[in-house]
């Protein structure tokens, strides 16, 4: 009977996982919280691992009880380790850990190209700012389905090569949700090399 009960709980958690995962997010882990609160859990990324720590303390008449746990999850190869997020389910009984795909950069003679996963976003929900050769991309998407409110935020900063022609930077969002940034390159824009004479102090 106990085994059957655990299987039913697992199925319930997997069903909620499908309902609550935003479109375009890469699922890393779905962790039942049991008696832990979200604020009692910390998450860190170490190389290719996502490490989850939890510490709970409950007061009793004759003292208190403490419990701790540590879980390590392997980071999928396609996930950007700098873009890991976590959130509790709507009823707070589980923690969802997600990430976004790595930026696909393609650099060739005369052209620069980078691709971002913005599945589920509309063009008006995406903001692109260019400061010198620093490209900042952010997005905020919100939707409501069967009474469940969902939101997804995205923020990335990309350093463009020094020979990018700033005025040639363009962006395009495909029907599949792939945002492509393209720009022309001009070697003449690269900083020149010169010698600096050393003068003896008199």
pTM given for the model: 0.51
Q: Pick the residue with more confidence: 144 or 30?
A: 30
Q: What is the pLDDT of residue 150?
A: 66
By CB neighbour count within 10 A (0-12 exposed, 13-18 middle, 19+ buried), where does 35 fall? Answer: exposed
Give 46-70 pLDDT, tens digit per residue.
878 888 888 988 888 788 888 998 9
Q: What is the pLDDT of residue 146?
A: 63
* 67-73 contacts, C-beta under 8 A, 24 or more apart: 67/35, 69/36, 71/29, 71/31, 73/28, 73/29, 73/49, 73/97
Q: What is the pLDDT of residue 147?
A: 60
Range from 3-7, 26-30, 87-91, 144-148 that averages highest in pLDDT: 26-30
């Amino acid at each position: 009977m106990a085994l059957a009960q655990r299987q039913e709980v697992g199925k319930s958690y997997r069903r909620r996982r499908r309902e609550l995962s935003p479109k375009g997010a890469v699922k890393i882990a779905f962790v039942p919280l049991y008696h832990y609160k979200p604020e009692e859990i910390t998450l860190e990324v170490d190389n290719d691992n996502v490490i989850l720590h939890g510490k709970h303390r409950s007061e009793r008449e004759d003292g208190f009880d403490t419990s701790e746990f540590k879980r390590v999850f392997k980071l999928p190869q396609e996930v950007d380790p700098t873009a890991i997020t976590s959130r509790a389910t709507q009823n707070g009984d589980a923690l969802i850990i997600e990430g976004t795909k790595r930026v696909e950069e393609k650099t060739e003679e005369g052209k620069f190209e980078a691709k971002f996963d913005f599945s589920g976003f509309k063009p008006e929900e995406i903001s692109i700012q260019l400061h010198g050769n620093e490209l900042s991309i952010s997005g905020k998407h919100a939707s409501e389905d069967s009474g469940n409110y969902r939101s997804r935020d995205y923020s990335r900063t990309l350093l463009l090569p020094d020979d990018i022609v700033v005025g040639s930077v363009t962006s395009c969002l495909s029907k599949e949700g792939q945002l492509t940034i393209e720009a022309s390159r001009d070697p003449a824009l690269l900083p020149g090399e010169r010698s600096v004479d050393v003068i003896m102090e008199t």
